[in-house]
Each structure stands twice: as C-alpha cells, then as structure tokens.
C-alpha cells in the first residue's frame, strides 16, 4: 500500500514537472505552423504582385485595383489569391486561433460564394488599403523605405468577445472586428464602415502575435502590454525607427517598434 502511494506520488510529481513543458512545446508547435502560414501568404502576395504589374490584391477579380475606392464594398484581399496563388485558403487559419474551426468553415465557403461574413485569422496592413486611392498597394511604385521592417500581414483578433455576451452576439461581434481581414493601425475607427470598432489585438501566441514584413521577415511581438496601455499617435522609439504614422500621419496606432517593425516607412503618396 505504501509502495503504491509512493509510486502514485512520483507519477504526480513527474506530471507536474512535465505538463508545463508539454504545454510550452505545443504552444511552440502552433506558433511554428502560424509562421509557416505567414511565410506562404507572403510568398503568394509577392507572386501576385509580380503577375499584376506591382499591385497587391485589394479588390474584386473583375475590377482594376485603382478603380476600387469604397473599401467597404470590396471583397477581402485574400479572395484574389485563390486559387491561383493560394490553392487552399485554410493557410489563413492560425492553429492558435480559438475560432479556428469557424474561420476554416468561413474560408472554405468564401472560396466559392461571395457575400459571406469574411472571417480570417490574419489581417493585411490596413494602411495599404486605406491610403489615398489605395496607391500603397502598388508596392513597385510606392515601396516602403524599409521593406524588411514594414508590416505586411499579422495575427488578427479579437479572440474573445466582451464578457457577458451571448454566443450568437459574440460571434457577430468577432465577425465585425475581423471583417475583410484588415489589420487596423488603431483600436477605434473602421474606415470601411465609418464606425468605431473594438480592438483587434490578440495575445494568442503565449501573450503575443506573429507577423510577416514586406521583406519577408517573420517576427513575434509581445502584445500583453500593448493591449492595456493607452494608444497614442506618437511614440519616440517608433518615430526614431522611421514610422510614417508617427512622423507624418499622426494617427493613433499600436507601437510595434519593440520588434523593430513599423506600420509604414517612407513617405505616403499624395495626389
């Protein structure tokens, strides 16, 4: 009996030691899959750009990107990648996304049907799509000054609805935040629908997110502090790094400079 108790307690102690390590390695594995997804999306966007005279996908297949002015009406950017550049849209599902199943279902339908709620785990840097006439999407003509350090695509939340929300409402809430797969620079204004929306920021990778830059650098950033600190239009470290939002736009934005990444670098095109 005593021997049995000893064996059981040894097993319990071993489990207590091994479980956190196991949890960590599972988290690392999901983050690795997420990074591989981002790498594939980056590659698809680069090939799309080469095929489309320097334009990134911003609109419907039928329309010229530069003719699409209403961001609210255009179809999500990733639809233009399917099926030629991305054969399987589930590459837009982050395995650490608590809504992964819903996202996968939405994407499998998005591939065949228009006019559906557009739910994805990743967002494209909104500055590209909301710059004047979306000129920044012409990355050959208006390239960022520091491509390696300029944000292209990142993990997009939100992952949880505000507490006290019913399941159905929570789902609608999350859909509205993730609509069109755009990554807003701030936690407030949705230019597509001209409404205030809740923050998109998430900490789904052990308190952080993964992102890929124009140059193809895959980076992680801790988001815990970003999610609680008040948002600002100017951060000294961000401005010194060459952030156009700090230096030129002066719009509230999340400060990603801790990872050496900026929303935009270089000047913005003006008419």
Closest CB 210 distance from Zn ion, rounded Å? 5
Residue 64 CB neighbour total at 10 angstroms:
11
Q: Nearer Cβ to Zn ion, position 108 or 247?
A: 247
Is the Cβ–Cβ distance between 55 and 49 less than 8 Å?
Answer: yes
CB of 159 to Zn ion, least distance (A): 10
Span from 12-20, 27-35, 41-49, 214-222 in contact with Zn ion (CB under 5 A): 27-35
Q: Binding of Zn ion at residue 226 (CB under 5 A)?
A: no
Can residue 91 be called a binding residue for Zn ion (CB under 5 A)?
no
34 is a site residue for Zn ion (CB under 5 A) = yes
**Looking at 226, 243, 261, 265, which residue binds Zn ion (CB under 5 A)?**
243
Binding span for Zn ion by CB under 5 A among 60-68, 81-89, 103-111, 152-160: 152-160
Window of 46-54, 70-78, 147-155, 193-201 that interacts with Zn ion by CB under 5 A: 147-155
263 vs 248: CA distance, rounded Å? 12
Report if residue 159 touches Zn ion, rule: CB under 5 A.
no
Minimum CB separation from Zn ion for residue 253, in Å? 6
Task: Tell which one of 155, 159, 186, 187 touches Zn ion (CB under 5 A).
Answer: 155
Q: Report the candidate in 122, 125, 142 with the shortest Cα–Cα distance to residue 55.
A: 142
CA distances from 134 to 51, 115, 146 (A): 18, 22, 19
CA angle 209, 46, 269 (to 5 degrees): 85
Strands 195-196 and 122-125: what pairing? unpaired
DSSP secondary structure code for residue 133 in this structure:
G
Residues that contact Zn ion, how many (by CB under 5 A): 8
Nearest one of 244, 245, 208, 246 to 227, comparing CA atoms: 208
Contact call for residue 94 and Zn ion (CB under 5 A): yes
C-beta closer to Zn ion: residue 75 or 210: 210
Q: How far, in Å, CA of 261 to CA of 71, rounded?
A: 25
CB of 257 to Zn ion, least distance (A): 7
Name the burial class of residue 154, with classes exposed (0-12), middle (13-18) and buried (19+) by CB atoms within 10 angstroms of its CB: buried
Binding site for Zn ion (CB under 5 A): 34, 94, 155, 210, 238, 243, 245-246
């Amino acid at each position: 009996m005593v021997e049995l108790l000893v064996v059981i307690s040894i097993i319990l102690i071993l489990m207590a030691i091994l479980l956190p390590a196991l949890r960590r390695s599972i988290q690392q594995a999901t983050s690795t899959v997420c990074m591989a997804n981002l790498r594939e999306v980056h590659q698809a966007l680069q090939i799309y750009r080469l095929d489309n005279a320097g334009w990134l996908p911003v609109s419907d297949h039928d329309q010229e990107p530069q003719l699409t002015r209403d961001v609210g009406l255009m179809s999500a950017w990733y639809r233009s990648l399917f099926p030629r550049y991305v054969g399987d849209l589930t590459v837009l599902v982050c395995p650490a996304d608590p809504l992964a199943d819903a996202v996968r279902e939405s994407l499998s339908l998005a591939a065949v049907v228009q006019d559906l709620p557009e739910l994805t785990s990743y967002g494209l840097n909104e500055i590209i799509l909301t710059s004047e006439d979306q000129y920044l999407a012409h990355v050959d003509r208006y390239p960022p000054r520091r491509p390696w350090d300029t944000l292209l695509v990142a993990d997009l939340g939100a992952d949880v609805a505000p507490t006290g929300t019913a399941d159905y409402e929570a789902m609608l809430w999350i859909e509205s935040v993730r609509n069109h797969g755009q990554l807003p620079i701030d936690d407030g204004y949705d230019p597509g629908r001209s409404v205030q929306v809740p923050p998109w920021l998430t900490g789904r990778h052990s308190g952080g997110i993964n992102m890929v830059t124009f140059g193809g650098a895959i980076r992680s950033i801790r988001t815990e502090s970003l999610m609680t600190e008040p948002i600002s239009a100017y951060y000294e470290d961000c401005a010194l790094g060459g952030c156009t939002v700090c230096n030129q736009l002066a719009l509230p934005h999340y400060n990603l400079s801790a990872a050496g990444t900026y929303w935009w670098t270089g000047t913005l095109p003006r008419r």
